[in-house]
Amino acid sequence: MSKLKEIRTTKGLTQFELAKRSNINTADISKIETGIIGKPYPKWRKAIADALEIPEKEVFPEAK
Which CATH number do you get for residue 35? 1.10.260.40
Domain that holds residue 37: 3-59
The predicted model scores a pTM of 0.92
Tell me whether residue 27 is in a domain: yes
How do residues 1-50 score in pLDDT, each as one tens digit? 799 999 999 999 999 999 999 999 999 999 999 999 999 999 999 999 99
Q: Is residue 13 part of a domain?
A: yes
Q: Helix 15-22 and helix 42-52: axis angle, to 10°?
A: 110
Residues 27-61: b if buried by 16+ CB within 10 A, e if exposed: ebbeebbeeeeeebeeebbebbbebbeeebeebbe
Q: Into how many domains does the chain fold?
A: 1
Tell me whether residue 64 is in a domain: no
The model's confidence at residue 61, banded by pLDDT at 50, 70 and 90, is: confident
